[in-house]
Amino acid sequence: MRKFKFISIIDDDPITIFGIKKLLSCVVDCDSIEAYKDGKIAFDTFRKKFEHDEDIPEVIFLDINMPIMDGWQFLEEFIKLPIKKRIRINIVTSSIDPFDKEKWSYFKDSTHHVITYNNKPINREEIAEMTKEA
- Kindly list the residues in this chain that would bind another protein in the complex (CB under 8 A): 12-16, 18-19, 22, 37, 65-70, 73, 94-97, 119-123
Nearer to another protein, 6 or 76 (CB): 76
Minimal distance, residue 54 CB to another protein, in Å = 25
Minimal distance, residue 95 CB to another protein, in Å = 6
Phi, psi of 115 (to 5 degrees): -120, 125
Residue 85: partners with Cβ closer than 8 Å, 6 or more residues away:
56, 58
Minimal distance, residue 118 CB to another protein, in Å = 11
Nearer to another protein, 77 or 134 (CB): 77
Nearer to another protein, 62 or 66 (CB): 66
Nearer to another protein, 25 or 105 (CB): 25
Minimal distance, residue 75 CB to another protein, in Å = 14
Cβ(65)–Cβ(91) under 8 Å? no
3-state SS of 100-131 is HHHHHHHHHHCCCCEEEEEECCCCHHHHHHHC
SS3 at position 93: strand
